[in-house]
Amino acid sequence: MRDLSGGPRVLLKRLRELMAEPLEPQERLDRIVRQIASNMVAEVCSVYVLRADGVLELYATEGLKKEAVHLSQLKMGQGLVGTIAASAQPLNLSDAQSHPAFRYLPETGEEIYHSFLGVPILRAGRSLGVLVVQNKASRNYREEELEALETTAMVLAEMVATGELKKITKPGLELDLTRSVTIDGDTYNEGIGLGYVVLHEPRIVVTNLLNEDTEKEIGRLADALGSLRISIDDMLSRRDVSMEGEHREVLETYRMFAHDQGWVRKLEEAIRNGLTAEAAVEKVQSDTKARMIRLTDPYLRERMHDFEDLANRLLRQLIGHTGRSTAEGFPSDAIVLARAMGAAELLDYPRTNVRGLVLEEGAVTSHVVIVARAMGIPVIGQAAGVVALAENGDAVIIDGDEGHVHLRPMPEHQRSYEEKVRFRARRQEQFRALRAVEPVTKDGKRITLLMNAGLLVDLPQLAESGAEGIGLFRTELQFMIASTMPKAEEQEAFYRSVMKQAGGRSVTFRTLDIGGDKVVPYFRGHEEENPALGWRAIRLSLDRPGLLRTQLRAMLKAAAGTELKMMVPMVTEVSEIRAVRELLQKEVQHLSRFGHGLPRKLQFGAMLEVPSLLWQLDELMDAVDFVSVGSNDLFQFTMAVDRGNARVSDRFDVLGRPFLRVLRDIVRAGERNDTPVTLCGEMAGKTISALALFGIGFRSVSMSPASIGPVKAMLLGLDIDALGAVLHEALDDTKPQHSVREILARFAESNNIPL
């Protein structure tokens, strides 16, 4: 085989011409393998393409028997070709037939060829097929020959990805890139969404693969690397990047990669083989990802994500791409896929077009999940690998009820989910018909149904759902989605707008619950091992009274002449409530002194989320005008279970006897002290758990707007006294035969109550 120093460039130039010619796909492939064989002085060149059924099919060959094309097949992992596809690693053999993975295919006539060089056809680290050259003489191919073949495989990867080969795929079969895939994740918000993939940070598609001037491309690469290194150094030197912690570790890793000479050398080699700087980055990125994607060590896999992110930053530097346009070409039924994202980023999208959100990371308590719930869209988290498997525009179904993501679904799957969506729509119509119906049980008990909110986008759902008011307005969401601290005037205008849009219905504002695990970009706290149990909410507010007083003043001014209802979160001791009351009183006096209007009525409450308050119940009820039970945090703190940890969260049931007894004690303390008690949280929004809440004495609950219809439909046929008798007996039973969940389900079935 001759020296290839100029070979790859000549080959790539000829391939570019072949790609531009108006040829049928099979003829184009045939001419490509012929050109590769000629350039590399190989007696055989073959292309195998991976099908959706996991079979590698011979699509074109120069040198093997022509009748074997579309007939010869190998499964993933079978034979040399199957081994290359499964491992995404090249094979360079001087005597192919002595390799333990060799598999003889008699229809090809390849038994006379000894030396073998095969490389995977990769896209974003995924094997789409295999490119092979063979010779009769026994020899090892040189490193530059391997590099040339890998570079050539990129052109074939684009040919597969564009769908050109569909025309010559056997009827009833599909290529792997288009196969249906189901990814399991965790349900973060229920519902079903049908639509098309929108990658939050889409892969940059490199269309210009082949360079005209090697030195110019190496210069462009050097300039882009320089800019990248400067930007990383700038980020590391900023004051808001702490000297320790995970954020800094990631940036230090970026800096290490950006200065890695091995990486730079590989990029320059790819350019010298004929690629543009952008194509070189994409090739090296894909090769590296293919090697690392099968790693099981979580630290190394995370480093792979860091490397991939850095390569994407370098690509953006090279092509001058600074950001994405969320409105341009945005589908009307979009399912957004992301590794991770912030709450503000989700709100950048056209809200009426988003039908679902899929995250590879995140937790049920993430800010973006809270916002997605407010938007009423299904959310799935911990969907590992979904971003790499998807392309923009792929059809996708998100099943937020079961925690499945169906990518490029089969037609029968699509039809099944379309019927589910129609059924849910019919049910929602039935629920909408109940909007004006009084929420009164069959035995005459009046229940107050409220909704949770946190953004202005939530407010239209107040009337649509039939909620009587807002039982929990999360004021921190305004802070989370802002790039700078909202000023006092902005806060005041926001609260006034909320009350105006509520149209006279009650709104209960919760003061800021930030800090700990709810970090806002302009407010840096300290690194904490257990942020959910750390410096957050009322603890942070009392330590930074200026922050709290500004918010209290804004609320008081916004509610001038009307009723203001507010509550403080994460209360641990009654003394904290008294401290906040003192600050509130100071703000009232300040506003009065300067002639500002004040609310005609002020109700001050506390959230019961921390178990220590269970031993201060009577003091608590005496210190406030109302109590709101935050069932999400109270459950996880009581049961010592992280709701965002899938390994343990499913082992504990909110309908277990211990937690229901805790809730019953709170209700009884409220009755004893004549203090209204409401429960807000996910528990109120599920019909079976709402049934339990009504049975133990709750008469006011707050939930997501979508849950109000089903809960109202359930309570209209409910005899609460009968339910209470059954439930109290079950909770007092010290040697139970059945779970509370089973008892509730049996009661509902025997009394025709829809769950």
The residue extents of the domains of the chain are: 7-177, 181-202+325-424, 214-319, 434-750
Ordered alpha helix ranges (H), 566-686: 574-593, 617-623, 631-639, 646-649, 657-673, 682-685
pLDDT value of residue 318: 84
Comparison of pLDDT for 755 and 194, the residue scoring more: 194
| pLDDT of the residue at 398 | 94
Q: Are 79 and 101 in contact, with CB atoms under 8 Å apart?
A: yes
Strand positions, DSSP E, 305-394: 334-338, 354-359, 379-381
The pLDDT value given to residue 679 = 98
- pLDDT value of residue 4: 40
- pLDDT tens readout for residues 671-717: 999 999 999 988 999 999 999 999 999 999 999 888 899 999 999 99
**Most confident range, picked from 131-135, 162-166, 373-377, 398-402:** 131-135
Mean pLDDT, range 427-442, rounded to an integer: 89
Interval 87-141: pLDDT, tens: 888 999 999 888 988 888 888 877 788 899 999 998 766 788 999 999 999 888 8
Question: What is the CATH superfamily name and number for domain 434-750?
Answer: Phosphoenolpyruvate-binding domains (3.20.20.60)
Residue with the larger pLDDT of the pair 588 and 296: 588
Domain 181-202+325-424, classified CATH 3.40.50.12500, yes or no: no
Question: Which has the closest alpha carbon to 738: 634, 747, 662, 640?
Answer: 747
Structure tokens at 635: 């459950």
For 44, the enclosing helix (H) or strand (E) is strand 44-50
**Would the pLDDT of 401 be above 90?**
no
**Lowest-confidence pick of 258-262, 332-336, 651-655, 687-691:** 258-262
CB 40 within 8 A of CB 64: no
> What average pLDDT does range 161-189 have in this prediction?
80
CATH superfamily, region 214-319: PtsI, HPr-binding domain (1.10.274.10)
> Which spans in 106-181 are helix H?
143-161
At residue 327, the pLDDT reads: 47
Mean pLDDT of 329-337: 87
Distance between start and end Cα atoms, the chain: 74
Nearest to 271 by CA among 306, 309, 322, 222: 222
How many C-beta atoms lie closer than 10 Å to residue 307's C-beta? 21
pLDDT bracket for residue 240 (50, 70, 90): very low
pLDDT band at 468 (very low <50, low <70, confident <90, very high): very high
620, pLDDT greater than 90: yes
Give residue 603's pLDDT: 97
DSSP secondary structure letter of residue 471:
E
Q: What is the mean pLDDT of residues 486-505?
A: 93
Closest of 664, 669, 704, 656 to residue 684, by C-alpha: 704
pTM above 0.85, yes or no: no
Question: CA 264 → CA 271, 303, 307, 346, distances in Å?
Answer: 11, 18, 13, 35
Angstrom distances, CA of residue 44 to CA of 65, 134, 137, 143, 417:
10, 5, 12, 19, 48
pLDDT of residue 76 exceeding 70, the answer is yes
Q: Does 241 score more than 70 pLDDT?
A: no
Over residues 403-432, mean pLDDT:
85
Six-digit token pair at 199?
């990658």
Q: Is the pLDDT of residue 429 over 80?
A: yes
Alpha carbon distance 3, 5 (integer Å): 6
Tell whether the model's pLDDT for residue 374 goes beyond 70. Answer: yes
| pLDDT computed for residue 296 by the predictor | 55
Question: Does residue 163 carry a pLDDT above 50?
Answer: yes
Phi, psi at 702, each rounded to 5°: -130, 140
Check residue 519 and give its pLDDT: 58
CATH class, domain 7-177, is alpha beta
Mean pLDDT (the chain) is 85
Task: Provide the H-helix boundaries in 433-487.
Answer: 460-465, 476-480
* 8 A C-beta contact, residue 439 and residue 469: no
CA pair distance 146, 156, nearest whole angstrom: 16
By percentage, how much of the chain surpasses pLDDT 70?
A: 87
pLDDT for 325 equals 44
Token pair 């080969």 is found at: 165
CA distances from residue 463 to 42, 74, 127, 433, 705 in whole angstroms, order as listed: 73, 60, 51, 12, 10
pLDDT at 64 over 50: yes
Confidence at residue 266, expressed as pLDDT on a 0 to 100 scale: 85
Strand order in the sheet with 395-399: 181-184, 404-407, 395-399, 192-199, 334-338, 354-359, 379-381, 186-189
The CA-atom distances, in angstroms, between 153 and each of 11, 20, 51, 90, 159 are 12, 17, 17, 11, 10
Confidence class for position 244, pLDDT limits 50, 70, 90: very low
3-state secondary structure of 515: strand
d(CA 24, CA 173): 19
- pLDDT-derived band at 525, boundaries 50, 70, 90: low
